[in-house]
Amino acid sequence: MDTQQRYLNWLNEPTLSKEEKDILKNLSSSEIEEAFYQDLSFGTGGIRGVLGLGTNRMNIYIIRKATFGFGRYLLKHNLLEGVAIAYDNRHMSYEFAKEAAKVLAALGIKSYVYKNLRPTPMLSFTVRHLNLSAGIMITASHNPKEYNGYKVYNKTGSQLSIDESNEVIEYINQVENPFEIKTLDNELIHYLNDEIDDIYLKEVISIAVHKDIKKDINIVYSPLHGTGGTLAPKLLKGSGYNVYPVESQMIPDPNFSATESSNPEEKQSFNASIELAKKVNADIILVTDPDADRLGVGVLHEGTYHLLTGNQTAALMLYYILSEQKTPDGFVYTTVVTSELIKKIGESFHKNIGETLTGFKFIGEQAERISKTNYTYLFGCEESYGSLVKDFVRDKDAIQAVYLLAEIANTLKSRNLTMVDYLNLIYEKYGYYVDETISISLKGIEGQQRIKKIMNYFRTRGLHINQFNVTNTIDYIKGKMNPHDIYLPPSDVIRFESDKGFIIFRPSGTEPKLKIYFSIKENTKELARNTIDILKQEVFNIIEEI
């Protein structure tokens, strides 16, 4: 079916309201093309897209279609213990959550819907704690305000496996007319308030390494208008920390009115937090993304606030966990695009290293897998500001990260050190690793085609840069078996390795971006930084010529 036919089908749909049809009639030809040129696809991580009417937009009809397909999957496998549903602060999040519950109710499936917004890790925990069959999280994570999304979880609290996702996709694709899907608002829809909050927070508190050190730090915290505000301040204050919330960003707001970015990977998301931190002389700044699965960190060091990368935060968390306590035999999990420093730290403490594809669902799967063995899950992380300290949650968990990093900062202060000092000690021990991720935004149809062209170029011609002698190329497009029997399914990722580190090309699975990862180890931080700057320019020069 072509774009125009999809558009006309919606325009002539009798169940659409007059207001909806007026919106459709006022779309420009280019807007019609973008909204209807394809069906917004349910991938291995669910759905994420721009809000609006159309087959390529996030709206209640797409939510109904996805939930109906997911519900049929649950019925087929007799997974009928109920579905937990949570949501973030975005436009339409509650409406989408309620719509999903009503579709499930019409199929005879129970749901447990949070009355107020809750973090993604809380959704994962709720599935596990209530022994439910599945979970649905309405969120677009750290994407801009125009987006929303729909993530699906299995009974382990992890996002659906690829096999599970593929089966759900088959059911979704069988839906010919989303406007015919029935919904019911009945007794099968149950509501959750805060009854699970303290149970979850008790588990979070259990990750502490040093429980009795006096709390002597000031913390500035921001949820960037999102879900972290429901739990993080309560957790920190209840543990004795001095917490200064960025009040203007504590208010749930789908427009993110008081922040310049909803993504803690971007420096501008810290502007208000740094301003407050200077006033209260904060030792650290902790900023969670809207659904509180990612965490950004700022550290006061020699009078200046230094923002840590996701790789740096993960490295110091892992080193602290392994060096400050005796740990059992177990696994540290990382991803193919995460700094090699994580591997080196884990190996130095004689731990097993499990390496997965990008996406925390794969680490969640491994956590479930080793829970059935004699090994222990010790830590998992990815470069994009996500980590999981303990696996009572099966997705990345910024609430756990907030708690552990507060402890780390407090412990280090008692030793007259900052996290920057601590990182330098780690670098002196393992080598100076500098990592940087660049995202090239390429939106729309033309953007997709451009990304494909760039990936095809490097896949067929390789990477040729004088300062980076490629010694090994790994193309994950056909899948790969990693150590410890970890199968990496086919993925559009190309990794070029040299004796200095790696350069990786990967289209984002959730945003219209091409991501390029640089990881370099040198004898000094300055030399590693300079090498990356040179490599970035060389890669940009190649891409401009493609």
The pair of structure tokens assigned to 396 is 């990345």
Distances (CA, A) of 150 to 62, 138, 167, 382, 513: 10, 5, 17, 21, 19
Q: Which helix (H) or strand (E) holds 425?
A: helix 419-430
End-to-end CA distance of the chain: 32
What DSSP state is assigned to residue 39? P
Cα dihedral sign, 224-226-230-235: negative
Cβ pair 173, 72 in contact under 8 A: no
Q: How far apart are CA 522 and CA 431, in angstroms?
A: 7
Cα radius of gyration rounded to whole Å, the chain: 23
User: For the residues of 153-207, what is the DSSP string, one character each?
Assistant: E-TTSSBPPHHHHHHHHHHHHT-S-GGG-----STTEEEE-STTHHHHHHHHHTT
Q: Which residues contact 12 (CB under 8 A, 6 or more apart)?
A: none
CA count, 13 A, side-chain hemisphere, 135: 35
Beta bridge partners of 120: none
Angle at 254 between CA 249 and CA 257, to 5 degrees: 45
Q: Which residue has the tokens 């749901």?
A: 111
Type of residue numbered 74: L
Q: Are residues 366 and 333 in contact, defined by beta-carbon separation less than 8 angstroms?
A: yes
Pairing of strands 218-222, 242-245: parallel
Q: Specify whether 141 is catalytic.
A: yes
Pick the catalytic residue: 111, 124, 133, 141?
Answer: 141
Task: For residue 285, give the H/E element and its range.
Answer: strand 284-288
What tokens appear for 504 in the block? 């990786």
Residue with tokens 């696809």: 41
Residues 408-417 as b/e (b if ≥16 CB within 10 A, e otherwise) read: bbbbbbeeeb
Which residues are identified as catalytic?
Answer: 141
